[in-house]
Structure 1
Amino acid sequence: MAEIPSPGLGTSGNKDESQCAKTVQTALELGYRHIDTAQMYDNETPVGVGIAHADVPRDDVFLATKVLPDNLSHDDVLETTQKSLDRLGTDYVDLLYVHWPMRAYEPSDTLPAFDTLAADGVARNIAVSNFTPDLLDEAREILDAPIVANQVEMHPLFQQTELQSYAREHDITLVAYAPIMQGKADDVSELRDIAVEYDATPTQISLAWLNGVENVVPIPKATGEVHLRENASVPDLDDEDVRKIEAIDREERFVNPDGAAWN
């Protein structure tokens, strides 16, 4: 399995070019080594600028992007991935995702294009996003390249228990988006109570829980140095506190695949 640095920096929603480039540069100079973007986010160009301006060699950066659901026909995958590389200012990405298995996604047509990109070294690793176990089984049967990651919404209110088991069984990393519940971690009483014990924030406790789950890498979003530092500095939770989070008996998703909150 590819070693995916944790935490990553999520860039969804960060379309201000100057701010996005500065955030990426700052994150890398603070020690982040995993940057996540997508064609859908309309910010690959400033992400590439941020990487170029950071005092960090490109080979030390684990860069991921995702192919837009509308671009998932075989030829469109090849063509638009090259456009992504041009915008990012790089010859390769470390991780290339199928963003959502919808719209133009047709496994027998889409996935061979990803294999081609992997064989050519354009995509050093292949991944999917928002895939169920059944869809993962189907994709794994078609692909020659291994699926190294499945990016899904995951946090204490949406714990993805079934996908956790699948990931462990098949050596796949779950890359957790919306890991701090789009800023709503403060609203979860269990996280607030545990945060007091560690002199931490509920956001940090949410990330700490994810850090302790096998085969999981969170990619919290941030736009300022204070939050970048906060997200990268989290406590180690003891077993009792982990059990308290696992026992949360309500479930809530914060990302809607049919709406503007796409990741």
Structure 2
Amino acid sequence: MIIRSLWLVHQCWLLLERDLRRGIERGELSLVFQRQYAVTGGRPVGAEALVRWNHPERGPISPKMFIPVAEATGLIRPLGRWVLEEACRAIRRSIEAGHEIGIGVNLSAAQLRHGDFVGILQSALSDAGIRPELLEIEITESLLFEPSNDAIAEMLRQIAAMGVRLGVDDFGTGYSSLAYLKRFPVHKIKIDQSFVRDIGRDKDDDMIVAAMVSLAHSLGKRAIAEGVETNEQLAFLRKLGCDEVQGYVLARPMPEAALAELLAAG
């Protein structure tokens, strides 16, 4: 029974890999955008690009299912490149519409391990004709502890030297280290939603979030909280002096057309 179950899991994995490969080639993927807001004043400050896959037969497939497959099989490289290029094109379209917006893109460790990423990034910016500072690359906290982090650190320095902004995603879920945070040229720390979720209900999480906001500021970096879903959480973060927030309480992920309408409405 166990062997059969493992075989079925393996077959599902293989089918998902095959369909994802085809989906990338056939243009089945799309981006949605979640707005990010300044805590003080509620001013929109940018958006995060999130990839979605609408399978022609199975319907929407969660990124939690297909991203791990992409990372394990190497498909993350063409997928990540498409996401990066499409995000840059979305920024260009916002400029042409007269409503310029900065967009953040998540970067997988598998993408950064390949030495051609800086060139891919330069090409994406050049082809879209946008200023580098309108793009933000988000790396996971665990990426800072890669065995090859000397090479990664150099690559991130090259990216920052181009003018592209860097942020640390899922902060607090890895192995936080002041030394590593000082070493890498990041300008923003994104507090993981697992800590934000229980604000006001768990005193430990309250203290952890407060400490992370204070840490970010002491290092001269901005703090953004993700997964903010209630006004109580928002009020707590405002009291802490958190710089930015992202979550359902303010905006859900939306297609580019809806984002354009929101931008046009001011």
Selected match of 1:115 from 128, 142, 157: 157
Give the corresponding residue for 2:111: 71
Q: Which runs of 5+ in 2 are unaligned?
A: 1-27, 36-42, 52-66, 68-79, 199-204
For residue 127 of structure 1, report the CA deviation from its aligned partner. Answer: 2.3
Cα distance change on mapping 1:136 and 1:174 into 2, 3 Å: farther
More strand by share: 2
1: CA distance between counterparts of 2:177 and 2:50? Answer: 20
Structure number with bigger Rg? 2
For residue 222 of structure 1, report the CA deviation from its aligned partner. Answer: 1.0
The residue matched to 1:138 in structure 2 has which SS? Answer: helix
Cα distance change on mapping 1:87 and 1:152 into 2, 3 Å: farther
The residue matched to 2:156 in structure 1 has which SS? Answer: helix
1: CA distance between counterparts of 2:124 and 2:236? Answer: 33
Cα distance change on mapping 1:48 and 1:112 into 2, 3 Å: closer
Give the corresponding residue for 1:99: 140
The answer to whether 1:222 aligns with 2:252 is yes
> Residue by residue, what CA displacement relative to the aligned partner does 1:197-225 show, whole Å, maximum 9, x if unpaired?
xxxxxx33333332332133112251467
Selected match of 1:35 from 22, 47, 56: 47
The answer to whether 1:171 aligns with 2:212 is no
Identical-pair percentage: 11
> Which TM-score applies when normalising by structure 1?
0.51
The residue matched to 2:142 in structure 1 has which SS? Answer: coil
For residue 74 of structure 1, report the CA deviation from its aligned partner. Answer: 6.2
2: CA distance between counterparts of 1:53 and 1:210? Answer: 33
Give the corresponding residue for 2:189: 150
CA contact (8 A) 2:87 2:105 kept: no
Cα distance change on mapping 1:56 and 1:208 into 2, 3 Å: farther
For residue 34 of structure 1, report the CA deviation from its aligned partner. Answer: 0.7
For residue 78 of structure 1, report the CA deviation from its aligned partner. Answer: 1.7
2: CA distance between counterparts of 1:148 and 1:16? Answer: 30
The residue matched to 1:218 in structure 2 has which SS? Answer: strand
Give the corresponding residue for 2:210: 161
For residue 148 of structure 1, report the CA deviation from its aligned partner. Answer: 1.5
> Which TM-score applies when normalising by structure 2?
0.51
The residue matched to 1:179 in structure 2 has which SS? Answer: coil
1: CA distance between counterparts of 2:44 and 2:128? Answer: 18
The residue matched to 2:132 in structure 1 has which SS? Answer: coil
**How do 1:1-263 residues align onto structure 2 when only pairs under 5 Å count?**
17=30, 20=32, 32-37=44-49, 43-44=83-84, 47-48=87-88, 50-54=90-94, 55-58=97-100, 61-73=101-113, 75-82=115-122, 85=125, 90-94=130-134, 95-102=136-143, 105=146, 106-121=148-163, 123=164, 125-132=165-172, 135-143=176-184, 145=185, 147-154=186-193, 155-157=196-198, 158-159=205-206, 160-180=209-229, 203-220=230-247, 221-223=251-253
More helix by share: 2
For residue 171 of structure 1, report the CA deviation from its aligned partner. Answer: 2.3
2: CA distance between counterparts of 1:104 and 1:86? Answer: 31
Cα distance change on mapping 1:72 and 1:138 into 2, 3 Å: farther
Cα distance change on mapping 1:52 and 1:141 into 2, 3 Å: closer
2: CA distance between counterparts of 1:119 and 1:89? Answer: 18
The residue matched to 2:252 in structure 1 has which SS? Answer: coil
For residue 166 of structure 1, report the CA deviation from its aligned partner. Answer: 1.2
Q: Which runs of 5+ in 1 are unaligned?
A: 1-14, 25-30, 181-202, 230-263
